[in-house]
Structure formats: structure tokens, C-alpha cells
Amino acid sequence: MVYLLYGTKEFSIEEEVKKISKNIDEMNISKYDLNNDLLSLALEDAKTISLFGDKKIVIAENANMFTAATSKDSELIEDYLNHINESTILILIVHNDKIDTRKKITKLISKIGKIIEFNDNLDVTSLTRRLLKNYNIDYKTINLFLNRVGNNPLIIQNEINKIKIYKGEDKTITDEDILNLTTKIIEIDIFKLIDYIVKKDKEKALELYYEMLKVNEEPIKIIVILANQFRIMYQSKELLKKGYSEKDIASILKIHPYRVKLAIQNSRNYTSETLLKYLNDLADIDIGIKTGTLNKDLALELFILK
């Protein structure tokens, strides 16, 4: 059997892989990342018979030959699809919102295997309730939880697992539990902070910065993340102007397509010159901290107040 799973909802893709792999022993599951591993190695693995059971699973991430991009791997995939090993379940994963349905290999999989899309919006509140279905937690506490950890389903699941381990047999989850047990994700507020800084809203920018410090975020870490985000926004904006697609930009910058999508969306309100100016200012701060001419605890505060 061959599966082609594609879309931007990584959590849903991961859940589908778990469902397919449910009755397969870990010894019979192999994973490859085609950004780093040769497709030929993954397919050779798929062709061999398992030594540990009747069925084996081969998972190949970043199977981008199914997108609009040209790839020399298309012939290798086509050859395998015409001579599949019935004792292997091959799962091909594309982290992109689209695949090229015109391609011969895509049409071939649709005939002999399964293509499943994962682009639908996920209701994170419903997901949280489902993961905590055996626990007593009210709506206000769920909102507090989501405000702290964000909307990434994988992070939500990890944070809920932490809570469950700590609570043990206690099935009631309070606001205090959320504040004490979860990690506030700084990236949730970064775009807000950027917006306040660029708009010169010093009061709101400082208020948000102080909130980050209250949850023990290091000023240097905030500076690094800010600079990194300004850089991605600037580069994505410039590459988009040159006609590159979001997928191409993700490949050039070597980051996930979803980060590119967010960067492009959030850079629309700013000129490239503005983004570059703030990126250069943060680079100067970094140099100042490293050379001892700036106090690390005051550097970002002074940057906001400029």
C-alpha cells in the first residue's frame, strides 16, 4: 500500500501516520527525510522484505517530487509504483498546501494508493477539550492555556502531556496548574511586539516586553528571535518580489513553508527598508552586548524607546 499525505497541518499528518502504524512494531518502521536522505535508499528499503514481521512501514518526509517543482526523483518513484512491494506500507509526506495533480506519479498513486489532504482549519479549543476529555477544566482555563502555548497542535499536545504527568490521579486542572506547568511560547507575541515597535507604540511594546520578562524569557533570547523574524520577513518579502513561490522561498531559506507564509503575511504592512533598518539596529545591539558596550538587560528596552 502507498499513501501520499500532504498539507500544512503537521499535527493531523502525524496523527494519520500513527493511525496507519498502529499495529506495526517499531522495529518494522523506517523513517527518511528526503531533504537529507536519498530517495533511492528509502525505496530500496521499501523493496526489501521485513525480517521482523509480515508488514513493514517506510516513511519518506519531504517528498517534494509531488509538488510543481521539477525533480529527478520522479522516475524512481514511478518505477517503484509500477512494482510495489505488497508487504511494505510506503508513506510519502509533503509539507505543502498543494501537490501537482497533473503529474504522472500523482495520478499513479491516486489509482493504486491513497492521497489524503490535511489543509482544513483545526479548532484548537476542540482539540484541547478532546485531549483533556477525562479532566475537569472550564472554558476560562482552556483559554488561559491556549493564550500561553499558542495554536500549534504539536505544542498543545506536548504541554497537555506535561500537565497529565504532573497531575497523576488528580483530574481537576486549575488556572494555577496552567501557569505553573506550561511554558509560555515567546513566538506567540513576537509579531505583536514587532508591530508595536515599528508603529512606535512604545507603551504597548514595553508592556509586552515586561510580560515576557515576567515569564523568565531572557532579553538576549528575545533579541535573537526578533532579529531572526525581521530577517525572515525581509528575505521573504524580497524573494516574493522576484517571483519566487512560498515553497521556493522556504527551500532557499531552509525553513518550514508555514513560517514563510506567516512572514509574508506579517511583512505586508512594512516596507523592505523599514524591515532592513530594524534588522541592522538589532545587529548593532548584538555587537554592543558582545563587546560590553551595552547592558544586556537594558539593550532591548533602549531599542524600543528609540
Asked if residue 211 and residue 155 are part of one domain, the reply reads: no
Contact status, residue 252 vs residue 242, Cβ threshold 8 Å: no
User: What is the number of domains present in the chain?
Assistant: 3
Asked if residue 134 and residue 238 are part of one domain, the reply reads: no
Asked if residue 11 and residue 104 are part of one domain, the reply reads: yes
204-246 pLDDT tens trace:
888 888 878 876 778 888 888 888 889 999 999 999 999 888 8
Asked if residue 245 and residue 207 are part of one domain, the reply reads: yes
CATH no. for residue 162?
1.10.8
Asked if residue 138 and residue 59 are part of one domain, the reply reads: no
Asked if residue 223 and residue 198 are part of one domain, the reply reads: yes
Residue with cell 533511492: 40
Confidence of residue 20 (pLDDT cuts 50, 70, 90): very high
- Of the three residues 181, 208, 225, the one that is the final residue of a domain is 181
CATH no. for residue 271?
1.20.272.10
Asked if residue 109 and residue 58 are part of one domain, the reply reads: yes
- Of the three residues 140, 166, 181, the one that is the final residue of a domain is 181
Residue 116 burial by Cβ neighbours in a 10 Å radius (0-12, 13-18, 19+): middle
Asked if residue 194 and residue 103 are part of one domain, the reply reads: no
**Rounded to the nearest 5 degrees, what angle is found at the Cα of 201, between the Cα atoms of 279 and 229?**
30
Asked if residue 114 and residue 97 are part of one domain, the reply reads: yes
What is the rounded distance in angstroms from the CA atom of residue 94 to the CA atom of residue 99?
A: 8
Contact status, residue 10 vs residue 156, Cβ threshold 8 Å: no
Query: Which residue type, as a one-letter code, is found at position 134?
Result: N
Domain range enclosing 114? 2-118
* For range 272-298, the mean pLDDT: 88
Give the pLDDT confidence score for residue 120 in this predicted structure.
63
- Of the three residues 102, 118, 134, the one that is the final residue of a domain is 118
What is the rounded distance in angstroms from the CA atom of residue 232 to the CA atom of residue 39?
A: 29
Asked if residue 228 and residue 172 are part of one domain, the reply reads: no
66-75, 81-90, 125-134: which is most confident? 81-90
143-194 pLDDT tens trace:
999 988 877 777 888 899 999 999 999 999 999 999 989 877 766 567 788 8
What is the rounded distance in angstroms from the CA atom of residue 64 to the CA atom of residue 73?
A: 9
Give the pLDDT confidence score for residue 187 in this predicted structure.
60
The overall average pLDDT reported for the chain is: 86
Alpha helices in 134-218 (DSSP H): 139-149, 153-167, 175-181, 187-198, 202-214
What is the rounded distance in angstroms from the CA atom of residue 120 to the CA atom of residue 24?
A: 28
Asked if residue 283 and residue 249 are part of one domain, the reply reads: yes
Range of weakest confidence among 1-5, 48-52, 272-276 = 48-52
**pTM score, whole prediction:** 0.47
Give the pLDDT confidence score for residue 303 in this predicted structure.
87
